[in-house]
Structure 1
C-alpha cells in the first residue's frame, strides 16, 4: 500500500486535485437535486385548508377545463400593461398570461424576451394571478366566464398605475385591483366573499433557461427563514407550508413571485403530470399580495425588499457564494465593469489563499528534490513493502516533507473555486456586460473561443513551471492532456467564468515563478553554507 503512496509525486497530487475538481463540478451541477424539507411542521396547513375539498380535485377539473379551452376566446387579451422595461398582457380570465422584457441586455435576437411559453404537454399549469376555487362547480364556472376591465391599456412611466378587473359569477363577485410599478414590482388586492376558499398562483417558473446545470422550480421561504426548494421533476402530490414569506417560481435568471413581510402566506405546491411544482397561495375573503416578475437582479430585488435576495439561489454553497457575489458587486461599483471586477476578485482570492498555495508549492518542491532518493529506495527495497515504508517515512521526516502536503491545500481551495463558479454562472448582472473588444456578454460563451484557448495555454504553461516528479508514465500522459480537456470543457461556459479561470492561471504562474526563485535562492544559500562548513 505504501509504495502506492510513495508514487504520489507533486504533479500526481495536482492531477488528483484537478480530477477531483472535475468530479466535483460536473456531477454536482448536473445531478444536484435540492432537497425538499420534509419537516412535519412545514406540511401543516391552516384549519380552513383542512376543512375544504383537496386542491387536487380542483386541479383535476382544471386539466379537463384547460383541454377544453384550447380555442376558448377567454385566452384573448383583455388589457395590456406597457412600461419602458416590460410589456404584460392580461387575458380575459384576469391572469397575466404574457410577459416580455424590453431592456436591450435581456432581448433575444433584438426582440423583447418572452418569459413564458405555452406548455402544451401540461395545459393545467397556472398563469400569474390565476384564481382557483376549492368548490369544483364554482371553479369550473370561473374558467368559463370572462373578466371585465376598467382599462384596455395602461402605460407606466415614473409612477405606479392601477387597473381593476371584475368577474361576475352569479352570487359571487371577484374583484382584482392590480397596481404596477416601473421596476416589475406589483401589488394585488383581491376581493372575494368570505365563505369561499380560493387559491392564487404566482404562475409557473419562467421558461427561458432550460439547461440541466441550473436550478429550475419553486422556492419557499418559511417564517423560520428555512429555504425549501422543489425542482422540476421532483414535485410529488401536494405539499403545504404555513406562514411563509416568499413563494417564487424561478429559472437560472428570472423569477415570478409573491411575498409577504408578515409571513402570512399559506402555500400549497401541487405537481403536474411532469412532476413539476405548481405554486399557489390559499385564502378566504379579501387578500392583499405583493409580487414581482422579472430578472433575479440582486440589487433590484433588494430595493423592493431585502428578503427577496434569497431568491438568488446558489445551492448548498449559498452561505459562502452569496458573500462572494456581494464582494464582486462592490468591486463592480469601484471599477464600473464586470470583467475588471472579476479580475480584481480573482486577485483578492489569490492573496487570501496565498499561505495555503505557498505551503503546497514548497511541499511539492521538496518532494521533487527527494524524487531521486525515493527511486533509490524503491529499487533497493523492491518486493519489501514494510522496509520501504519505514525508510520512506524516515526520509520524509528527515527532510520535513509531507507526501500529501501538496494535495491538501489544493483540495481546501476547491470550495472557494466552486463558490465562484456558482456565482458567475448564476449572476444575471453579467447579462449584456461587455469586456474588452470581443466580449459583448460575459454571461454567454466566448464567440471566438479566445478565452478558453488562453485558459488552456496558461494551464499548459503552469504545468511546465510546477515541480514535476512523475513515477507513473500513464499518469504523466493523462496530466499532459488536462489543458486540452479543460479547454474543451470550458468552451461553452459563460465567458465571465472562463475569464476568472484564465486570470487565476496568470496569477498562479506569477506566483509559481516568484516561489521558484525564492526556493532557488534558499537552495543556493544552503549549498553555500555547506561549502563554508566543509572549508
Structure 2
C-alpha cells in the first residue's frame, strides 16, 4: 500500500475545491484556474503550520545564541571516546539547549511536515493526473476534472503537468516558464536565508560551526533547486515558489516584530519606535542599556584569551565562565527592559499648585 495515498487524496481534494471556487468567475478549463488552485493549496498548508514556523525562527535564533557554550562543551570532551564522557557531553549539551529554550529539531519541523505534501503533489501531477485523464479517476479527481487539469493551458500551450525536461506542446515556452520559476525560487530563498542569518543575528553569533552551517545554506538551497527543479512539473514548481514567498513574508513580519537582541534588525526597530514618538511630539527613548548588553561579550573577550597565555584554566572552568557571562547578559537585558518600561511611563505633571505646595513645605522646614 502506498503510504502517501491519504496525503495524495487530501491534496487532490483541496485542489478540486479551490478549482470549484475559482470556476465561479474564471474559465474552468483554463490552466490559470488550475495554477491558482495550487496556490490556494499552498496557502492552506502554510496557514496550518504557522505555529511551527514561529517556533522554527525562535529555535534557530536560540541555537546560534548558545553556539559559544556548545563550542566550550565540545572542547572539554575533545578526544574522549569512552561511553562515560560521551554521555556526560550529551547531558551537558541538552542542559544548554533546555536552559536557552533551543531545540535542534524545531528548525526542521516545517520542512519535514511539508516534504510528504510536496511528494504527494508531485505524484498527483506526474502520475495520478495522466491516469485520471485517461479514464481512471482518483478520489475527488474525476476523469473530467483530470482531463481539464491535464490539458488546461496558460501562457500559450503550457500546462501544470509539463516540466523543463518534458516540455510537451509548449516547447520553448514551457522551458522559459520553468526556468523563470526556478530562478525566482533561488532568489527568494537566498534573500530569506540571508535575512535570517545576517540581519537578525548579533555579531557575536555570526561565528562558529552554527554560523558556518547557516552561511553554507545560503548557497546550497538555491543549488538544490537548480538540480532538481528541471525534472519537476510546473504545478509543483508553482507550489514551491508560493511556499518560498510565503516563508519570506512570514519571516519578515516575525523579525520586524521580535528581532534578536543586538542584531541590526533590533537597531532598525528602535529607530522606528523613536521616529513614531517624534511624530507624536514625544522624546525619543534611550536604548543604550540594550547596546551595552550586546557589547559586553566583546569586552569579556580578553578574559577568554588569557588561557592562551596562561594555560591554568581547565575546560570545565572555561564552560563555567561562558555560562556566567551568559547569565550576566540575561540579567542586564532584564534591567534594560525595566529601565525602558520606566522611561515609557508619562512624567508626573507639575502644576503651579504643586510647586506652591513644595515651596510651602520647604518654607515650613526652614521655619522649624
| TM-score computed with the length of structure 2 as normaliser | 0.52
Q: What do the CA deviations read for 1:260-282 (whole angstroms, capped 9, x no partner)?
A: xxxxxxxxxxxxxxxxxxxxxxx
- Alignment pair present for 1:363 and 2:363: no
2:257 maps to which residue? 518
Distance 1:367 1:321, change over 3 A: same
CA distance in 2, matches of 1:475, 1:518: 22
> Partners of 1:438 and 1:358 in 2: how far apart?
40
Cα separation, 1, equivalents of 2:119 and 2:223: 20
Are the counterparts in 1 of residues 61 and 260 from structure 2 also a CA contact under 8 Å?
Answer: no
Alignment check: 8 A CA contact 2:161 2:235 kept: yes
CA contact (8 A) 2:150 2:161 kept: yes
Structure 1, unaligned stretches of length 5 or more? 1-34, 36-314
- The whole-number CA distance in structure 1 between the counterparts of 2:337 and 2:225 is 48
Partner of 1:333: 20
Structure ranking higher in helix proportion: 2
Report the counterpart of residue 466 of structure 1 in structure 2. 196
**Matched residues in 2 for 1:424 and 1:432: separation?**
12
Q: C-alpha offsets along residues 67-90 of structure 1, whole Å, 9 cap, x if unaligned?
A: xxxxxxxxxxxxxxxxxxxxxxxx
How many angstroms does 1:479 deviate by? 6.4
Partner residue of 1:480 out of 219, 227, 233: 219
Q: CA deviation at 1:450?
A: 1.3
Structure 1 residue 503: deviation in Å? 0.8
- TM superposition shift of 1:464: 1.8
Residues 462 and 474 (structure 1 numbering): CA distance in 2 closer, same or farther, change over 3 Å?
A: closer
1:329 deviation in Å? 1.0
- The count of residues paired between Structure 1 and Structure 2 equals 221
> 2-side partners of 1:458 and 1:324: how far apart?
25
SS at match of 1:407: helix
Asked if residue 427 in structure 1 is aligned to residue 114 in structure 2, the reply is no
Q: Does 1:316 align with 2:34?
A: no
User: What residue is the counterpart of 1:497 in the other structure?
Assistant: 236
User: Aligned residue for 2:69?
Assistant: 373
> Which residue of 2 is the match for residue 286 of structure 1?
none
User: For residues 475 and 383 of structure 1, do their structure 2 counterparts lie closer, same or farther at Cα, with a shift above 3 Å needed?
Assistant: farther
Q: Against the structure 1 CA distance between its residues 506 and 356, is the aligned structure 2 distance closer, same or farther, given a 3 Å change threshold?
A: same
- Contact in 2 for aligned 1:364/1:467 (Cα 8 Å): no
Report what 1:396 is aligned to: 97
Cα pair 1:433 1:443 within 8 Å, conserved:
no
Q: How does 1:181-330 map to 2 (within 5 A)?
A: 315-330=2-17
Q: C-alpha separation between the residues in 1 aligned to 2:261 and 2:175? A: 46
Name the counterpart of 1:531: 336
Of 435, 447, 462, 2:175 maps to: 447
Shift of 1:477: 4.4
- Say if 1:368 and 1:467, in contact at 8 Å, map to a contact too: no
Aligned partners of 2:118 and 2:236 also within 8 Å: no
CA gap 1:343/1:408 in 2 versus in 1, 3 angstroms: closer
Separation in 1 of the partners of 2:234 and 2:215? Answer: 30
Q: Give the Cα–Cα distance (whole angstroms) in 2 for the partners of residues 456 and 390 of structure 1.
A: 39
In 1: Cα distance, 2:40 partner to 2:214 partner: 35
* Residue 532 of structure 1, CA deviation: 5.0
Using the alignment, how far apart are the partners of 2:18 and 2:115 within structure 1?
Answer: 22
Q: How do 1:48-63 and structure 2 match up within 5 A?
A: none
The alpha carbon displacement at 1:515 in A equals 2.0
For residues 420 and 439 of structure 1, do their structure 2 counterparts lie closer, same or farther at Cα, with a shift above 3 Å needed?
Answer: same
> What's the secondary structure of 2:231's corresponding residue?
coil
Alpha-carbon distance, 1:467 to partner: 4.1
Contact 2:77/2:89 (<8 A) preserved: yes
2:15 and 2:93 map into 1 onto residues whose CA distance is: 46
* Whole-angstrom CA distance in 2 between matches of 1:451 and 1:439: 17
2:323 aligned residue: none
Whether the aligned pair in 1 keeps the contact of 2:190 and 2:218 (CA below 8 Å) is no
**Equivalent of residue 414 in structure 1, options 79, 101, 115:** 115
Label 1:474 to 1:324 Cα distance change in 2 as closer, same or farther (>3 A).
Answer: closer
Instruction: Answer whether contact 1:460 1:483 (CA < 8 A) is retained.
Output: yes
| More strand, by proportion | 1
| Conserved? CA contact 2:197–2:214, under 8 Å | no
Distance in 2 between residues matched to 1:431 and 1:359, nearest whole Å = 38
Q: 1:499 to 1:412 in 2, by over 3 A?
A: closer
State whether residues 122 and 232 of structure 2, in contact with CA within 8 Å, keep that contact through their aligned partners in structure 1. Answer: no
Q: Which has the higher relative contact order, 1 or 2, with Cα contacts under 8 A spaced 6 or more apart?
A: 2
Deviations 1:369-424 (Å, cap 9, x if unpaired)? 22233234434554455454343222222112222222244323322222222223
